[in-house]
Chain A
Amino acid sequence: GAGVSQTPSNKVTEKGKYVELRCDPISGHTALYWYRQSLGQGPEFLIYFQGTGAADDSGLPNDRFFAVRPEGSVSTLKIQRTERGDSAVYLCASSLGGGSGQETQYFGPGTRLLVL
C-alpha cells in the first residue's frame, strides 16, 4: 500500500519568506509526527498530532513554526520568516494510533528545505 508522502521533495526559498510543507500519512493512521533532520544529525522531534489536535508541540523551536492537521489526515508544517538556520530535511511520520510508545513510526521521504 501507499506509504507516507511529502511534498515538495525540495524547496528553495529566500530568507524571510514563508513556506509550507505537506505530509500525507498512511491511510488509517491517526498519529502523525514531524521531525527535523540537520546535516550529520538524527531526526529531532518537532510536533505530534493525535487526530486533528496537536498532542505535543514541545519540539517546535520558536513561534515561527506552526503545524495543522484540520481533518485528521494531511498535515501542513508552516514556517514564517524563514532563516538560514531553518535549512534541513523535514521528515513526517505516521503510526497506527494511540501514540503508544511501542508503535512503529513510518517515515516519508522528507522535504529538503534550503533557505538562501
Chain B
Amino acid sequence: AQSVAQPEDQVNVAEGNPLTVKCTYSVSGNPYLFWYVQYPNRGLQFLLKYITGDNLVKGSYGFEAEFNKSQTSFHLKKPSALVSDSALYFCAVRAHSGYSTLTFGKGTMLLVSP
C-alpha cells in the first residue's frame, strides 16, 4: 500500500528566512508527487507536482520541491518565507503504473512570523 509521511506537525519560520516542509513517501514503482496548500475554511490549492525528469520542480508562489529517489523524499522549499505563506501543507503520492488513488499525508502547519 502506498503512504506519505509528513514528520512535522508544525514548522515555524521567521519571515524572510528559507523554509522547508518535509515529505517522504512509499509507493510501488515510480511515483507521481504533489504538494497542495490549504488555507482556513478553504479547499486544497495545487502548488506543484513531480512527474518525471528534472528532480527540482518549481511551482506557484515561489515554492519548489526536490524529488530524491534514493531517500524517497519530496521536500517543499521556498528561499524566503512570507507571513502570507502561513497555512496547512499536504504532500500526496500516486503510483506511476496501473491505477492507484491519490494518497495524502496528514499535513504540516507552516507558521511564518513577522
Contact = CB atoms under 8 A, between A and B. Distances in A.
Contact of A91 (B44, B46, B94): B44
Interface stretch (B14-22, B70-78, B79-87, B99-107): B99-107
Interface string A97-108: 001011011111
26 contacts: A4-B43, A33-B102, A40-B107, A42-B90, A42-B104, A42-B105, A42-B106, A42-B107, A43-B44, A44-B104, A45-B103, A48-B101, A101-B32, A101-B96, A102-B94, A104-B34, A104-B49, A105-B46, A105-B102, A106-B46, A107-B43, A107-B44, A108-B43, A109-B41, A109-B43, A110-B43
A62 interface: no
B51 interface: yes
B44 A56 contact: no
Interface of B: 4, 32, 34, 36, 41-46, 49, 51, 90, 92, 94-96, 99-107
A84 B14 CA distance: 40
Given A48-B101, A59-B101, A101-B94, A40 B106 contact: yes
A10 B103 CA distance: 25
Contacts of B102: 33, 45, 105
A32 B91 CA distance: 20
Contacts of B96: 101
Given A4-B43, A109-B43, 7 more contacts: A40-B107, A101-B32, A101-B99, A102-B51, A104-B34, A105-B102, A109-B42
Contacts of B99: 56, 99, 101
Nearest to B92: A42
Contacts of A41: 106-107
